[in-house]
Structure 1
Amino acid sequence: MSTMKKTVVTLCFILLGIASVYAQNSQFPSQVWHKGNIYFNDGMSTSGLIKYDLDNNLVQLQTETVDTFTASNVSNFEIYDEIFGGIRKFYSLPYAINGEYETPTFFEVLTEGNNLALLCREYIATDTRGMNNWGPMGMNPFWGPQNNFGYRLAFNYYFFNNGRLQRYSLKKKDLFAMLPGYDDEIDLFMRKNRLEHDKRGDLLRITAYYNELKN
């Protein structure tokens, strides 16, 4: 197995692990304090316990006190999630979330290469699927955990290419539009590995494969 394949497989297990553990704890990642670092636009940085709020594009730092910073003065931050044992990185990028005007917005980087990056923004959604085959405390490993209160972790996905940030609609035809030039190769890769066009771990693998094709 190549190094790239090992890395992608490892990331997929990490994604499954974080969903499973958070489901068991009935807490979502944004509700937990994480060890991490914050890097500011002026080149300064600071470390401590970090909690993030993507809905409001805020990041909090707990040291002797709790300080709150916005995406306007933070270039990026990273957290070490002790629950699943991995580093997660977030960057502030200009984007018009509501379709009006661009403002600094936090995005998590799932995978990146020389040509393309896959980003996401998580949110806590009401689970309208009911108590399905996953059970009352079960989880769908690539969509996120469901807790006793009927909420789940959901994601909006974005592709960053040539300085342009585009939201992915989760439609298969739009995935090929976002990853142009290798439709046959990507289609074969998805079929061979039984990958879906709308699952977090699968999108990570597909994007990583596309970047390999472009190199």
Structure 2
Amino acid sequence: MKQKFLFAIFFIFCFQQLKAQSSRQFPSEMWHLGELVLLSGDTLSGALKYDFGNDAVLINAKNKIRTYSARKILFFEIYDSTVEDYREFFAIPYRVRSNYKIPVIFEVLHEGPLTLLSREEIVQETTAQNYNYGYYGGFPQNNYYATQRKLRHDYFYLDLKGKVVSFDMKKRTLLHIMRRYSSEIKRFVKENRLHFNDQNDLIRITDYYNTLVSEGNSKVKS
């Protein structure tokens, strides 16, 4: 009887967790107040919803919803209430094949001589969870599989020549991208215990690199 009761409690807990996960909304699923600037020069204000999967933006202006592809977009800015901050996105030509570029939407995380860009995707992740509903280890341990949605980010770097390269969050790749000051970057990362797969740390590293570039250029000019 005790075993059935504990299992029922466990089942209710799992159901509540799954319900909470399914009701959670990510930024790309929400409408945000903002502005959209088109290549034509027109500026539209209203509620915006971005779609990385289709490289498009929906805008609800004057109770009318319109969709614009990346080919028609210059940039857009939104106020994201989930992070309580403004976010900027640009449509930038990106090489999808050896000799073929198309406009792709990127979020700008840090702008400078080397600009850090990001694209996000909602993914399903299934993990095995262990539970034991008996007291003092009286019942065998069991597994159940929980599926939850997560937000995954892919990172890119844009140089002053307009070239966009993908960053795989590996140390070797980043040091190659920042090879002009690779020794300084290596030391900065070690001293501050930074990680290459953490967005805030990447922003700090990129900001430091851009500071080195700006200082180096100033010395050359003087």
| TM-score, normalised via structure 1 length | 0.76
CA distance in 1, matches of 2:22, 2:80: 15
Q: How many residues align?
A: 177
Contact 1:130–1:150 at 8 Å: present in 2 too?
no
CA distance in 2, matches of 1:193, 1:112: 21
CA distance in 2, matches of 1:48, 1:181: 43
The letter of the residue matching 1:44 is D
Contact 2:27–2:82 at 8 Å: present in 1 too?
no
Matches within 5 A, 1:87-102: 87-97=86-96, 101-102=100-101
Contact 1:40–1:73 at 8 Å: present in 2 too?
yes
Shift of 1:187: 1.2
For 2:194, the equivalent position in structure 1 comes to 195
Q: Cα–Cα, structure 1 residues 116 and 129, in superposed 2: closer, same or farther, change >3 Å?
A: farther
For 2:152, the equivalent position in structure 1 comes to 154
Task: Kindly provide the CA deviation profile for residues 32-75 of structure 1, in whole angstroms up to 9, marking residues without a partner as x.
Answer: 10000000101110100000001100100012121111101111
CA distance in 2, matches of 1:85, 1:155: 19
CA distance in 1, matches of 2:207, 2:154: 18
Task: Kindly provide the CA deviation profile for residues 98-119 of structure 1, in whole angstroms up to 9, marking residues without a partner as x.
Answer: 6672111100000011x11000
Q: Cα–Cα, structure 1 residues 170 and 98, in superposed 2: closer, same or farther, change >3 Å?
A: farther
Shift of 1:198: 1.7
The letter of the residue matching 1:107 is F
The letter of the residue matching 2:209 is Y
Q: Which structure features the higher share of strand residues?
A: 2
Q: Cα–Cα, structure 1 residues 103 and 118, in superposed 2: closer, same or farther, change >3 Å?
A: same
Matches within 5 A, 1:1-215: 26-63=24-61, 64-97=63-96, 101-113=100-112, 115-128=113-126, 149-161=147-159, 162-215=161-214
Contact 2:127–2:147 at 8 Å: present in 1 too?
no
SS of the residue corresponding to residue 194 of structure 2 reads coil
CA distance in 2, matches of 1:131, 1:207: 37
Task: Kindly provide the CA deviation profile for residues 167-189 of structure 1, in whole angstroms up to 9, marking residues without a partner as x.
Answer: 11222101001111212211111
Q: Cα–Cα, structure 1 residues 129 and 109, in superposed 2: closer, same or farther, change >3 Å?
A: farther
SS of the residue corresponding to residue 179 of structure 2 reads coil
Contact 1:118–1:204 at 8 Å: present in 2 too?
yes
Which structure carries more relative contact order (alpha carbon 8 Å, separation 6+)? 1
Instruction: Return 5+ residue gaps in structure 1 as ranges.
Output: 1-22, 133-147
Shift of 1:214: 0.8
Q: What percentage of residue pairs aligned between the two structures are identical?
A: 36
Q: Which structure features the higher share of helix residues?
A: 2
Q: CA RMSD in A?
A: 2.1
Q: Cα–Cα, structure 1 residues 130 and 98, in superposed 2: closer, same or farther, change >3 Å?
A: farther
Q: Cα–Cα, structure 1 residues 126 and 99, in superposed 2: closer, same or farther, change >3 Å?
A: farther
Shift of 1:149: 4.6
The letter of the residue matching 2:35 is N
Contact 1:58–1:69 at 8 Å: present in 2 too?
yes
Shift of 1:94: 1.1
